[in-house]
Structure 1
Amino acid sequence: MNTKHILVLFAFLLAFTSCEENKERSITLAQPEIYNVTNLKANSFKIEYTQIVNAQSYEISLATDESFTELVSPYESVSVKDDNYSFTDLQANQTYYVRVTAEYQELRSESSVAEKVTTLVADDVEPDTALKEVAESFHVGMAVITERLNGTHHEIYQREYNQITAEWEMKMNIMYPTEGRYDFTAADQLVDYAEANGMRIHGHALIWHAATPTWVEDFAGTDEEFETMVEDYIKTTVSRYKGRIVSWDVVNEAVNDSNGELRNTVFLQRMGADYIQKCFQWAREADPDVLLFYNDYNLCWDQTKLGTVLNLIDDFQTNNVPLDGVGFQMHISYNGPSKARIAENTKLVTDKGVLLHYSELDVKVNPDNDISELTEERAFAQKDKVTEVVEIYNAIPEGSKFALTIWGLRDNESWIPNQQGHADWALFYDEDFNIKKAHTGFLEGLE
């Protein structure tokens, strides 16, 4: 090769090298964008991101915090060439942050905006977040009986709830079983339990036709003597727990289903149509500070019954009869009543300026006896209905909030199967104390 050829080759190589250097200096990398998260499961998910011109590879990083100081092994810095990536072996129900950075040799793009991804709840495992910890503006209650105040029941009560209601041991047939003899054994135990565990207790219920002792039904004295007996019972009971019980259902279920008229009970027969007002006045005289409630079922959808209760509120307010709140029992089903109807009836009460207690919540999943076991479809439907209920209650005016009480802990302890005559799974825990989707629905109603 002569000198001329050597000079030409040298010039070519010099020019080629210069072009390559200029090319490297001119290369830029755009910021990737994560545009899709797919295949989201309890322990895995997949991301898809934009392809970047000039990128030779992509660095993927996964962390549990948005600042990426808590990186997740083995995903601290993974280099890939594709425009998608799948993460596996992750924790269920965990929030992660993922980012993508384009690479060309030593050149790196600005990282993508961190994508927040929360893995699903694992099959058969629901989050165990305590209800009372997330319900910041109202108390979360549980219906209890004395024989279930220890063991796993106690552990769950302590963790989940900050209010209890006596399911049946603070009713007249238990506390005043025979004429002239009171028995506050169970009631005392429940009040002591609440105080020892930092819980409020709601008294339920002073007057209820279905828990009236036989001797009261057959009372042989005059109407005046009957009224004096009821006054003595209410004042004796309420004053016994003065300053210890936060609230009482003074009268329970006094309105008929069919026509909205007062139920034809022994109290109506012996004391007259104003017996409810008298009971509230006696309770107030016994404890000036306790909150007094009227409690009934179907109020969240039965317009006739609710109309009677609204009239009762108006009458009480006009005549300065003490009434602090109304209890909606909330024995409902997965398929009704509608969210709109519950919200409408709720507002009709809160517009009166009184407290509202969702007092006995359970959600039937088998009202028509068409399933023999709790199906996944019904479990999700129950969860959705609970979410609706909590959303409605959480949205009412702060001055109307009191508590949302669940009527029992485990499905097998519910009153509903016995009342219906067939199986149902209406509560938040199954018979093995496993948390159900209904519990998750409560949490989601507060989001």
Structure 2
Amino acid sequence: MREERRRGRSTGRRPDGRPARFRWWIGAALTAVCTAAGIAIPSPAQADGELRDLADARGFEIGAALGVDHLANDSRFADLAAAEFNAATAENSMKWDAVQPSRGQFDWSGADDFMAFARANDQAVRGHTLVWHSQLPSWVSNGGFGAGELRGVMEDHIDAVAGRYAGQVAYWDVVNEMFNEDGSWRQSVFYDTLGESYVADALRMAAEADPNAELYLNDYNIDGINAKSDAYYDLARSLLNQGVPLDGIGMQAHLINGQIPSDMQRNIQRFADLGLDVAITELDIRIQMPASQSELEQQAQGYRTVMDACMAVDRCIGVTVWGIVDQYSWVPDVFDGYGAPLLFNDSYQPKPAYYAVQEALGGDGDDGGGGDDGDDGPGGPCEVDYSVQNEWNSGFTGQVSFTHNGSSALDGWELQWTFPSGQQVTSGWSGEWSQSGSTVTVSNASWNAAVQSGGSVSVGFNASHNGGNTAPTAFTLNGQSCAVS
């Protein structure tokens, strides 16, 4: 019986209990597909990023969600994706509306391009997602199907998608986001038509289509112990008792800066105690903008807390971040006023969060390297010269110049510092200025966004003060600390 075969089947695990990563060679046909789409496929020899190397050494997976349009159109994004991550999730290209927009009419272009990139770079693939209430084509969500026909529609879709990539996908997020925050079942075309049984049915169908993939349930706000994660715990225990093929729980971890669940490790452990693997599948930590240096440091601590919680539990197999660079994140479009949630900033420079993840994986957490191949100039990645040009009773004119010492040119920059004496910028030039509390942020104007290695930029401002005008002593450029001359 299908229900009975899962517990005893081979899962391809290493002797230490962690799942072995799927490794394969890319075929000529998929290489041609990816080349035709314009996606750069870095050779495996290029995949020597710090995070990836450290994770490989520990038998751990550090992954990223990858958008195929970014892979095709942004070589820096593709290079980071290949170099830093040993696992990959299709951001949107495997969802129902992408692969089957019309009934029986499949568009494999995006999913195939994603798979080609992951294969070329020896990355374990998380398929995302087979059954979800969102990003459904209208022919499914408004189809008016009876139970029998909808079950058939679901089976045909799972069989086609999971079957196409059978043996090539390490994990499938089979059913995504089926509970409300209070632990009640979410209303959806699947639940409303089929009832609770649609989850077990989908897992069985996926096991039939790809017997070798690990099958997961996946949701947000289940990172700590709460009503919603309790509902998943109860459902998982019930499914396992019925012999339904379930291998793991995916905790998305779309988090707010400073609000990391304190019981995250305990929550991971209780699912592991059921005999399930756990993965952090969609990690990002959003900050209310503009992000100050102290908030970026707090975000880094949040990333470290999540990494430590996962790595403390044997059955937590890996952490995937939901994107790579801040500029492509979904967060600003969904959470008004929030942003900067990822490991690399808009200028592709590693943030403090990157070094926190690096350190959690066993690296040195040194923010003087990593972002520019370790060949920064003598002042580190940047040097700043701050001076007061003119001063009067209640104000002054200041000038700040920075030199970019990284080996790669900047295409956009953000300089930040904190005034120690309550000074307030009243006007500025040669950049876009803002101030939050004592933290000043100035970003490039349109005409000075590009800064070559060794190049310098000067900006100026007028500011007020209340009798004290102590100079700031700490500056960051694109999130990296600068030497002060």
Which band: TM-score by shorter chain? Answer: 0.5 to 0.7
Residue deviations 1:78-136, cap 9 Å, x none?
A: xxxxxxxxxxxxxxxxxxxxxxxxxxxxxxxxxxxxxxxxxxxxxxxxxx961111122
What corresponds to 1:287 in structure 2?
Answer: 210
Match of 2:349 among 434, 439, 443: 434
Residue deviations 1:35-78, cap 9 Å, x none?
A: xxxxxxxxxxxxxxxxxxxxxxxxxxxxxxxxxxxxxxxxxxxx
Structure 1: runs of 5+ lacking an equivalent:
1-127, 367-371
What corresponds to 1:197 in structure 2?
Answer: 121
Contact 2:268-2:316 within 8 A present in 1 as well: no
Q: Which amino acid aligns with 2:244?
A: V
User: Is it true that 1:153 corresponds to 2:68 in the alignment?
Assistant: no
How far is 1:302 from its partner? 5.0
What corresponds to 2:172 in structure 1?
Answer: 248
Distance across 1 between alignment mates of 2:273 and 2:360: 22
Distance across 2 between alignment mates of 1:222 and 1:328: 32
Q: Matches of residues 293-308 of structure 1 in structure 2 within 5 Å?
A: 293-301=216-224, 303-308=226-231
Aligned length: 311
Larger Cα Rg: Structure 1 or Structure 2? 1
Structure 2: runs of 5+ lacking an equivalent:
1-47, 363-485
Distance across 2 between alignment mates of 1:167 and 1:179: 22
Contact 1:359-1:404 within 8 A present in 2 as well: yes
How far is 1:383 from its partner? 0.7
User: Is it true that 1:352 corresponds to 2:269 in the alignment?
Assistant: no
What TM-score comes out, normalization by structure 1 length? 0.68
Q: Which amino acid aligns with 2:128?
A: H
Residue deviations 1:189-229, cap 9 Å, x none?
A: 11111111111111001111111111111214432111111
For the residue of structure 1 that corresponds to 2:134, the secondary structure is: helix
Distance across 2 between alignment mates of 1:395 and 1:438: 19
Contact 1:386-1:445 within 8 A present in 2 as well: no
Q: Matches of residues 110-189 of structure 1 in structure 2 within 5 Å?
A: 130-135=50-55, 136-150=58-72, 151-189=75-113
Deviating above 6 A after TM superposition, structure 1's stretches of 4 or more consecutive aligned residues are none
What corresponds to 1:219 in structure 2?
Answer: 143
For the residue of structure 1 that corresponds to 2:63, the secondary structure is: strand
Distance across 2 between alignment mates of 1:132 and 1:392: 19
For the residue of structure 2 that corresponds to 1:211, the secondary structure is: coil
Contact 2:278-2:317 within 8 A present in 1 as well: yes
User: Is it true that 1:393 corresponds to 2:317 in the alignment?
Assistant: no
Distance across 1 between alignment mates of 2:338 and 2:285: 13
Contact 1:227-1:270 within 8 A present in 2 as well: no
Distance across 1 between alignment mates of 2:132 and 2:53: 33
Q: Which amino acid aligns with 1:142?
A: A
Q: Which amino acid aligns with 1:191?
A: M
What TM-score comes out, normalization by structure 2 length? 0.62
Contact 2:279-2:317 within 8 A present in 1 as well: yes
CA RMSD of aligned residues (A): 1.4
Q: Which amino acid aligns with 2:246?
A: L
How far is 1:270 from its partner? 1.4
User: Is it true that 1:274 corresponds to 2:191 in the alignment?
Assistant: no
Distance across 1 between alignment mates of 2:63 and 2:205: 26
Shift in alpha-carbon separation, 1:148–1:341, aligned structure 2, 3 A:
same
More helix, by proportion:
1
Contact 1:173-1:213 within 8 A present in 2 as well: yes
Shift in alpha-carbon separation, 1:347–1:326, aligned structure 2, 3 A:
same
Distance across 2 between alignment mates of 1:143 and 1:255: 23
How far is 1:169 from its partner? 1.2
Task: State the percentage of identical aligned residues.
Answer: 29
